[in-house]
Amino acid sequence: MTVSSESKNSLTQLAPLEAVLFDIDGTLCDSDPLHYYAFREMLKEIGFNGGVPITEEFFIETVAGKHNDDIALALFPGDLERGLKFVDDKEDMFRKLAKEQVKPLNGLDKVREWIESRGLKRAAVTNAPRANAELMISLLGLSDFFHAVIIGGECEHAKPHPDPYLKGLEALKASKDHSFVFEDSVSGIKAGVAAGMPVVGLATRNPEHLLMEAKPAFLIKDYADPKLWEALEELDKAGTKKV
């Protein structure tokens, strides 16, 4: 499948490119199955939903890409304190699982090399707690890659609000007119778009029709997807012309 002219143009208009901003979970690595497993097992243990394990659909709708405060409220609407304690405990379990199982998304090394060879600025922007974000970045060997790590919970509003991405641009001293975002969740795509940047959506786990409703520039399967490289090649050409 070729990239539509609209998809290409949504990146070529950024030339010369200054910065690339990445989400972490589901974007740098396929970590959602670990989050799903931790939520499912721990909720089952406390008799949530009458002890019936949550479905993947429930996980996508209620949890994926959302900030922990919002997840706590959704799971324990009458008891935020209990909800916050639960999500903290769940993050402990997730970090233990991640140490054994996290792997980079297919093609991540190739896109990293492309970004580094062009001297672009880069930030990680996530709704995950800082302890998770730093662990994942370290496990993936990206601690020296990112110039900034922005945590949704440390901003005035987390994703889907634009604040985390705007803070990322500010930290990098980059313009939204010369930057784009990689994201895999509806809330993340909405945040990037609201911050005024094109978003390349990764269909890692979340249903494509839901991701498209959030208005990404286009969707890719992973970083090896020919659609991405065709768009980046066009962007390179546009940048060369403008120099």
**How many C-beta atoms lie closer than 10 Å to residue 31's C-beta?**
26
Phi-psi region of 212 (alpha: psi -120 to 50; beta: other; left: phi over 0): alpha
What backbone phi and psi angles, to 5 degrees, belong to 121?
-80, 150
Residue 23 designated active-site: yes
Tell me the C-alpha distance between 174 and 39, whole Å.
37
Tell me the C-alpha distance between 224 and 105, whole Å.
9
What backbone phi and psi angles, to 5 degrees, belong to 109?
-60, -40
Tell me the C-alpha distance between 145 and 24, whole Å.
13
Rounded alpha-carbon distances, angstroms, from residue 1 to 201, 222, 225, 227, 231: 16, 14, 10, 7, 12
**CA-angle at 93, arms to 37 and 141, nearest 5°:** 95
So which residues are the catalytic ones?
Answer: 23, 25
